Amino acid sequence: MREGARLSRVAMLGAIVAAGLACNGREPPQGSREGGASTGVALKLSRTPEGQFREGAVERIQETLRERGLLTEKVEPGDLDVPTSAALRKLQEQHDLPLTGMPDGATVEALGLDPESLYQRREIPEAQEPQRPAVLRETPEDRGP
């Protein structure tokens, strides 16, 4: 009997801890960036899907599509053109992904490539101090084809 009571207490404690971990009623601290406050640090925006990738990344996607037999037509290297988009759609259909024809993270993963190594990223400093936006001008790769 004593074993059972101890066990139930352990189980209850476990459940309370798990529930607490799952939904601790934490309010964001003052000045935190949570909830949509401005970071002051501009992220790298791009007007074209190609502009979001590192140099050579789109070519790697095209090569992999070709290796898998999904891309047979001649394409412009580095350009997510109509044949490349059609090949991406075929891949997305095979993997039950939305048929956007664009190389989103899950599509890149389905190709066996690591999205982390393909996307461009910008360092976000830990400091809470607002900073001047780092980039206000478009870079050449933003301009697309």
Partner 1 sequence: MASTSAPRPWYRKRWAWLLAGLVLVVIGVRLALNPVADHYTRRWLNQFPTLKGDYQQLSVSLFPPGIELHNLTLAEQPRVGQEPPLLFAERVRGHLRVGQLLRGEFVVRARMDAPKFSYVVRKSVEREVEETARRLEEPVQELLRLVRTLPPLSVERLEVRDGELLIVEAREEGSPSVWVHKLEATVENLPTSAERSGGMPTLLAASGTVQRSGELSLFLTLDPFQSQPTFAGRMRLAGQQLSDFSALTKAKADVIIPKGEMDLSAIFVAREGRILGSLKSEVKNADFKAADEDFGSKLKAALGDAALSLFERDKQGEDRLATVVPINGRLKSPDVGLGAAVTGVLRNAFVEGIASGFAGMVPGEGVGGSGGEDEQAKSDAREGD
Interface residue list for partner 1 (CB under 8 A): 3-4, 7-8, 10-11, 14-15, 23-28, 32-39, 41-49, 52, 85, 97-102, 104-106, 119-124, 126, 133, 136-138, 142-145
Nearer to partner 1, 5 or 69 (CB): 5
How near is the Cβ of 60 to partner 1 at its closest, in Å?
A: 18
As a whole number of angstroms, the distance between CA 32 and CA 37 comes to 8
How near is the Cβ of 93 to partner 1 at its closest, in Å?
A: 10
Nearer to partner 1, 67 or 120 (CB): 120
As a whole number of angstroms, the distance between CA 139 and CA 124 comes to 19
Distances in Å between the alpha carbon of 91 and those of 66, 85, 102, 103, 116? Answer: 11, 10, 11, 10, 20
As a whole number of angstroms, the distance between CA 84 and CA 136 comes to 31
